[in-house]
Amino acid sequence: MDLLEDDTPGRNEPEYTVSEISGAVKRTIEGEFGRVRIKGEVGRVMIARSGHVYLDLKDDRAVLASIIWKGQAAKLAVQPEEGMEVVAIGKLTTFPGQSKYQMVIEDVRPAGVGALMAMLEKRKKALQAEGLFDPARKKPIPYLPEIIGVVTSPQGAVIRDILHRLRDRFPRKVLIWPVAVQGEGCAPQVTAAIEGFNAMTPGGSLPRPDLIIVARGGGSIEDLWGFNEESVARAAAASDIPLISAVGHETDTTLIDYVSDIRAPTPTAAAEIAVPVRLDLLAAVDSFGARMAQALSGMVGARKQRLADLSRALPRASELTQTARQRFDLAGGRLDASLKAGTATKRLSFEKAASPLRPSILARQTERMTARLTQTAGRLDTALDRRAERSRAQFDRVSGGLSLKGIQRDLGLQRDRLGRATRTASQAGSIQVKSWRDQMEKLDRLRETLGYQATLERGYAVVWDGDKVVTNSTQAKKATSLEVQFKDARIPVGAAAKPAAKPKPPKSGQPGLFDD
């Protein structure tokens, strides 16, 4: 009997099939190494259509092909990127289809804080090159938003600090979108919250916020890493609603701080940036009203002083007619002498002209001229008298119109008109300031009336079936246990009253409306 498997003369090596040798190599590698931790630099990264991630781990002398299955890739806290130094956890195996060994990665972690900072700097440069940090694209924050959306954890001190500061400064309606603020679910939940707020319809049943605050308390770089993810930064940059980032303390900086419209050093500071101080606004309105009244009073006083100065500068009525009266007297005094001198001059000229004439002609001419002269002299006296009468009458009218009593009467009328205008302006200013104050008080009362607690205090109640609100009889009949919530307690139906339990916060991922 031949003891050799190979019956070829001179040969004693065992014979295997390709599958047998591949299986043997696979069992040897997997049995020898099992689960391993490998530190290296991420080389080529490729995401297949199936969702699997193919990458290379390398150092200065070797390259190890690796794969992350689709289901495991979605659970990674940090996605591998080319050039990142990481520690990969998984197991070694072989791929018979290509006769190579590879690593199936189950988890990837950056190799220390230095690797995280290097990856963060790389993302920062890429987003900055796209212009997402450009100050020109940042939107202004509304002066007094009606609704403020807050993306944060519903538990903890952050949301309490924001609500408390808003209540102290200027109460506004707050819409909270609860999210995880660290861990694997942080980045996708924050991204979904920002996009969800932007997708809301303005004026809908759940109104769209006018401002978004993304807030979280302080922590290590690993705790804050969800806000350094590219998806969060791009969602914040694409937000049509102005966004304030308040992640960590003042010394903590994340990618969302660079793309947000305003970065607040703390969540409390974000609330202070979001709304002004209501008492300061009321004081400003009162100050404006006082300044307006003071300005009106000063203007009226200045006008009165100006009128008094002009009145003192006007001359007396008697002084206005003194020069004209003196000129009239002088002209009247010279009139008789001028008439006589003129008549003598004409007579002399007449005699010179008549001397060469014949006596008969001269006599006739003289008679005619004498008659005309006599007639003219008679009319001249009458004309002069009438002219003097008219001039005197005109003078009397002018001097009567310039009397001191007339000027004083006109000044009195103008003073009364100015007083009425001043009183009208002051009354109008007072009415406008009172209207603004009444409107502010009405809005404040309306805010308190429409609030959730105010509704319960007016006698209304809420019927609960566990965590669900019962709105009709059909739901009440199907309910296993019913509770009625009044303004001060939540009492089971048919049982004695018990102290009211605090309302449970909304489930993660679901928005809840709080009337602050």
Q: What value does the mean pLDDT take over residues 109-117?
A: 69
Q: What residue segments make up the domains of the chain, in order of their start?
A: 18-109, 121-276, 283-323+401-449, 453-515
Q: pLDDT by residue (tens digit) across 163-197? A: 999 998 998 999 999 999 888 788 899 999 999 99
Is pLDDT at 415 greater than 60 in this prediction? yes
Q: DSSP letter for 355, please.
A: T
Q: Which of 28, 37, 48 is nearest to 94 (CA)?
A: 28
- Tell me, what's the pLDDT at 2? 45
Q: What are phi and psi of 148, to 5 degrees?
A: -115, 125
Min mean pLDDT across 198-207, 253-262, 322-331, 352-361 is at 352-361
Residues 6+ apart with CB under 8 A from 15: 5, 6
Read off the amino acid at residue 80: P
Min mean pLDDT across 207-216, 426-435, 498-507 is at 498-507
- Tell me, what's the pLDDT at 139? 93
Q: pLDDT by residue (tens digit) across 254-300? A: 888 999 999 999 999 999 999 998 888 888 888 888 899 899 988 99
- Tell me, what's the pLDDT at 214? 94
Is pLDDT at 130 greater than 80 in this prediction? yes
Distance (Å, whole) CA 283 – CA 440:
12
Distance (Å, whole) CA 317 – CA 395:
13
Residue 69's CB is within 10 A of a number of other CB atoms, namely 14
Q: What value does the mean pLDDT take over residues 222-250?
A: 88
Query: How would you label 368-383 residue by residue, b for 16+ Cβ within 10 Å and e otherwise?
Result: eeeeebeeeeeeeeee
Q: May I ask the CATH architecture of the domain 121-276?
A: 3-Layer(aba) Sandwich (3.40)
Min mean pLDDT across 56-70, 193-207, 345-359 is at 345-359
Highest-pLDDT range among 381-395, 442-456, 470-484: 470-484
User: Residue 148: in which H helix or E strand, if any?
Assistant: strand 147-152
Q: DSSP letter for 489, please.
A: B
- Fold match between 18-109 and 121-276? no
**How much of the chain exceeds pLDDT 70, in percent?**
86
What are the C-alpha distances in Å from 218 to residues 222, 273, 328?
11, 19, 102
Distance (Å, whole) CA 13 – CA 5:
8
Helices (H), 241-358: 255-259, 267-274, 278-313, 317-354
3-state secondary structure (DSSP) of residue 428:
helix
Residues 6+ apart with CB under 8 A from 212: 148, 149, 150, 151, 194, 197, 239, 241, 242, 243, 244
Q: At what angle do helices 157-169 and 267-274 cross, to 10 degrees?
A: 30
Is pLDDT at 497 greater than 80 in this prediction? no
Read off the amino acid at residue 216: R
3-state secondary structure (DSSP) of residue 279:
helix
User: Residue 226: in which H helix or E strand, if any?
Assistant: none
3-state SS of 29-60 is HHHHHCEEEEEEEEEEEEECCCCCEEEEEECC
Q: What are phi and psi of 480, to 5 degrees?
A: -85, -30
Is pLDDT at 8 greater than 60 in this prediction? no
**Cβ contact 269:138 at 8 Å:** no
CATH superfamily of domain region 18-109: Nucleic acid-binding proteins (2.40.50.140)
Residues 6+ apart with CB under 8 A from 258: 124, 127, 128, 132, 133, 233
**Cβ contact 211:149 at 8 Å:** yes
- Tell me, what's the pLDDT at 488? 83
Average pLDDT, the chain: 81
- HSE-up of residue 13 (Cα within 13 Å, Cβ side): 2
Residues 65/70/71/76 CA torsion (nearest 10 deg): 60
Is pLDDT at 509 greater than 60 in this prediction? no
Q: pLDDT by residue (tens digit) across 328-356? A: 878 887 888 888 888 888 888 877 776 66
Q: What value does the mean pLDDT take over residues 113-122?
A: 71
- Tell me, what's the pLDDT at 371? 81
- Tell me, what's the pLDDT at 362? 62
- Tell me, what's the pLDDT at 433? 77
Signed CA dihedral, 130, 135, 136, 142: sign only: positive
Q: What value does the mean pLDDT take over residues 480-509?
A: 65
Distance (Å, whole) CA 465 – CA 476:
8
**Cβ contact 463:483 at 8 Å:** yes
- Tell me, what's the pLDDT at 10? 54
Segment 453-456 long-range contacts (CB within 8 Å, at least 24 positions apart):
453/487, 453/515, 456/485, 456/486, 456/487
What are the C-alpha distances in Å from 441 to residues 111, 164, 276, 435?
60, 22, 17, 10
- Tell me, what's the pLDDT at 496? 37
Let me know how many helices (H) and strands (E) the chain has, helices first.
14, 15
pLDDT band at 3 (very low <50, low <70, confident <90, very high): very low
pLDDT band at 498 (very low <50, low <70, confident <90, very high): very low
> Angle 383-384-385 (CA atoms, 0-180°, nearest 5)?
90
Q: Which of 132, 80, 130 is nearest to 106 (CA)?
A: 80
Q: pLDDT by residue (tens digit) across 417-456? A: 888 888 888 888 788 878 888 887 877 777 666 665 677 7
